[in-house]
Amino acid sequence: MASTRREFLLRSLGSFGAVMLGIERFGLLNAVAQSADYRALVCIFLNGGNDGNNMIIPYDDYQSYLAARGPSGLAIEQSSLLRTGVVPNVGAEFAFHPSLAGLHTLWGEGKLGVVCNVGPLLERTTRTSYQNRTARIPLNLFSHSDQINQWQTSVSDTASASGWGGRSADEIGPLNASVFSPVTSTAGTPIFTTGNLERPLAIAVAPTRLDAALRLDGFPNPPDNDPRYLEMKRLLSLDGDKTLVRGASRVTAAAVSMEGAIRFTGDPPVPPFPLNPRTSLGNQLEQVAKMISVRTELGMKRQIFFCSLGGFDTHNSQVIGGTPGTGTHASLLLQVSDAMKAFYDATVQLGVASDVTTFTLSDFSRTWVPNGTLGTDHAWGSHQFVMGGSVRGREFYGCAGSNATVFPTLAANGPDDTDQGGNARGRWIPTVAVDQYGATLASWLGVSNADLPAVFPNVKRFDPTTLGFLT
């Protein structure tokens, strides 16, 4: 079966790609045969601004947490928290939200780490430099649309036409053996996935079969013998001397080739998926796992995937009154934890657990002090999960802040808060730039140190460039 698929790929990816993109038959077959050299990044964007302050909770200093969040009803009971043990980089014990049992298991196995207090930055910023306006700060702080763009592009002082996932794909795309896109999204085509050269592939999520996840509208399935389909393929080979026609034909030809290739993959099972019950993020990660399972057939050595889950803009009803371990945020975190744990287990089954790194992003964290309507408001620095067999787990990563550790001082009007005075809300100034977080991931994927500035234009403003959470 593998040999037949390879021969098919040489026909489907090569029929257009070899002519238009210079891919040779021998080069494709040789690379497919040697595709053990494989790595993938999987981005999970928590849309709306995840409350990191109720995701990672101080256990040793629980009373400070309770004093800030207890009166408004947001404090999770200490007895229900999932303890981390003492975190070496901080010298204190923390705990996960009780909905994160799956991720807590991976933490205990050393397959999960936390990167602390990350956010968009233009330069290293302190409370003093922020309040004195001596530090340049990102445009339109605390705005959803602006912060989403800055997390996904790593550019915080101007608009960007591409994202750092897409620009990473520009750098690693040539390592692959086909015209198949190195960046795939199960959540549309956000700016994260757009490169200067590479364009993302958007596919349908499970339970849609993988071989039906990318369809050509207007043709029968399969279309191979349809006269209109054959004529379209013929037309794509015409007028190659005209720049606009040649450009449009190359894009269309690549899409047709990719549709043909993915249609031939079948619908491989990827246990422990499907989840029961199915969830939005679970369906996305199931389809990503299927894509990874056919990496050899597709001639892929490097891939980037994007998934997204919304609902994290919890200005109200973040918890259920009287039972703060339940409610909107608890349900979302449960979905994240279950889906990520199942995905990690699937990579183990596929033999690529150390070759796939999954990580979270979100607009921002939320205020330390709740807003009085069982909710929290927009903040800045936030904590993120990184998961995989190459993660140096059971540790918090970042850059030391005012307290000489990577974890911020949890105090409104404290040394890490943007706010001052009696009405301070607790919006942590990031100590880690998105550039550093992303550069660590991109470097592991295979982007060279020399090429990092092409992916992260401002990365040289931060020291260290990478954070050491991957082997």
| H/E stretch holding 216 | none
> What pLDDT shows up at residue 35?
45
d(C-alpha 384, C-alpha 441), whole Å: 13
- Beta-carbon contacts of 1 under 8 Å, excluding residues fewer than 6 positions away, are none
d(C-alpha 290, C-alpha 298), whole Å: 12
> What pLDDT shows up at residue 25?
26
> What pLDDT shows up at residue 322?
96
∠ CA 344-348-353, nearest 5°, is 70
Q: 135 lies in a domain?
A: yes
Q: Which domain holds residue 188?
A: 40-209+272-461
Q: 224 lies in a domain?
A: no
> 348, 379 in Cβ contact below 8 A?
no
d(C-alpha 464, C-alpha 433), whole Å: 10
Q: 265 lies in a domain?
A: no
Cα 450 to chain center, whole Å?
A: 23
Alpha-carbon dihedral sign for residues 55, 347, 268, 222: positive
Q: 113 lies in a domain?
A: yes
Contacts of 445-453 with CB under 8 Å at 24 or more apart are: 445/39, 445/40, 445/41, 445/168, 445/172, 445/302, 445/304, 445/357, 446/39, 446/171, 446/172, 446/175, 446/302, 447/168, 447/171, 447/172, 448/171, 451/171
Q: 258 lies in a domain?
A: no
H helical segments located in 70-120: 101-108
Structure tokens at 37: 């050299």
Q: 246 lies in a domain?
A: no
> 110, 393 in Cβ contact below 8 A?
yes
d(C-alpha 29, C-alpha 180), whole Å: 14
d(C-alpha 43, C-alpha 159), whole Å: 21
Each residue's pLDDT tens digit, 351-400: 999 999 999 999 999 999 999 999 999 999 999 999 999 999 999 999 99
> What pLDDT shows up at residue 251?
66
Residue ranges for the chain with pLDDT beneath 50 = 1-35
| Antiparallel, parallel or unpaired: β 302-309 and 382-387 | unpaired
| Polymer length of the chain | 471
> What pLDDT shows up at residue 36?
73
Cα 106 to chain center, whole Å?
A: 18
Tokens 């996935």, residue located: 193
Q: 233 lies in a domain?
A: no
Q: Which amino acid is at 33?
A: A
Question: What's the structural domain count of the chain?
Answer: 1
d(C-alpha 276, C-alpha 242), whole Å: 53
> What pLDDT shows up at residue 6?
43
d(C-alpha 266, C-alpha 271), whole Å: 16
What's the pTM? 0.91
Question: Which candidate, 184, 183, 220, 181, places its Cα nearest to that of 205?
Answer: 184
> What pLDDT shows up at residue 18?
33
Burial of residue 422, with CB atoms counted within 10 A of its CB: 0-12 exposed, 13-18 middle, 19 or more buried = exposed
Query: Residue 327 — left, alpha, or beta (φ > 0 → left; ψ -120 to 50 → alpha)?
Result: left
Question: Which candidate, 397, 428, 424, places its Cα nearest to that of 412?
Answer: 424
For residue 423, what is the domain's CATH number? 3.40.720
∠ CA 421-408-111, nearest 5°, is 155
Each residue's pLDDT tens digit, 158-174: 999 999 999 999 999 99
Q: 15 lies in a domain?
A: no
